[in-house]
Amino acid sequence: MNTMRQSCSPVEICQRFLAYAGRLGATNLLAGTIPPPGSSRREQVSHVLLETWPEEWSLRYFSNGYLYHDPTIRLVCRDNSPFLWKEISQLCVTDNFGSRVMMEAAEFRLRDGLTIALRTLEGKIVGFSVAGERLELEAGQAQALQLLAAYALGHAIVLVDGERRRDHVHLSSRQRDVLHWAAEGLTTDQIADRLTISKNTADTHLRAVRERLGAANTIHAVAEAFRLGLLS
C-alpha cells in the first residue's frame, strides 16, 4: 500500500500493482467505470482508469462493442463478489458472443483472470480485472488483490480528478482496531474473537467506520483509510 501511495501516474499504479499480482501469474490489468449502454468507443475508453491490456486487444474490444457482451462485465454490474474467469464458463454456454469474447481474449494471453466489482464514492460501478496465461491464487490471495485493487482505484481517481476535500475523519480507538484487523483480512467473527467483543459489536464498529469514510463496503473503507493515512 505504501509503495502504491508513492505512484505519480496511472502508469506507475499499474506497474506497482502488477509487481505484486505478477507473482500470482497476472501480466495485465484493466479497470474502469461501466459506461451506459450504446456508448461510442471514445466514450467507453474515457471510462477507463487503469489499463495495460495488449493494445491490439484493447482496440478490438472497444471498437467492436465487446464490453456489452463480456460475461465478466455482466457479473460486475450485478455487484458480484470477486470471481475467477474459469468460474464463469457455464455463463458462456448459452451465450455465443460472450464465449467468443473470452476465447479471443485468450488469443492475447489473457486466458485466466480475476475480476473484482468495486464502487466509487459516488456509487459508480467499477470493473477491475487482472489476467494472464495462468493465475495461481492460494487461500486469501484473492482478498489481498481485492484490497490492493480498491486502493489502486482510489489513488487513480485522486490522480485523475484531484484530491477530494474531506473534513478530518476521526475514528475511535476501537474503530481503528476493527479496521486494522479488517485490513489484515479477518472476518467479522474473527475480529470479534481477536478483540474479545461480540460479533454484533464488531459489526457495529465496522458500519460506523464505513459511514465515516463514505465507503460502500469494508474493502472500500480499508482502501480509503490507507489513502487518508489512517492505516499504515
List, for residues 40-92, the tens digit of each pLDDT value: 999 999 999 999 999 999 999 999 999 999 999 999 998 778 899 998 877 67
Model pLDDT, residue 78: 87
CA distance 131 to 110: 5
The structure's pTM equals 0.82
CA distance 222 to 67: 29
Contact 214/154 with Cβ under 8 angstroms? no
Q: In what order do the strands lie in the sheet with 112-119?
A: 48-51, 28-33, 125-132, 112-119, 83-84
Q: What is the pLDDT of residues 109-154, one digit of tens each?
A: 999 999 999 888 777 889 999 999 999 998 778 888 988 898 888 8
Q: What is the pLDDT of residues 99-110, one digit of tens each?
A: 999 999 999 999
Pick from 122, 103, 112, 116: which is nearest to 31 by CA? 116
pLDDT above 70 coverage of the chain, percent: 95
Question: What number of H helices and E strands is found in the chain?
Answer: 12, 5
| Residue range 153-178: mean pLDDT, rounded | 79
Which is it for the CA torsion 143, 210, 78, 42, positive or negative? negative
Q: Is the pLDDT of residue 166 over 70?
A: no
Q: Is the pLDDT of residue 167 over 70?
A: no
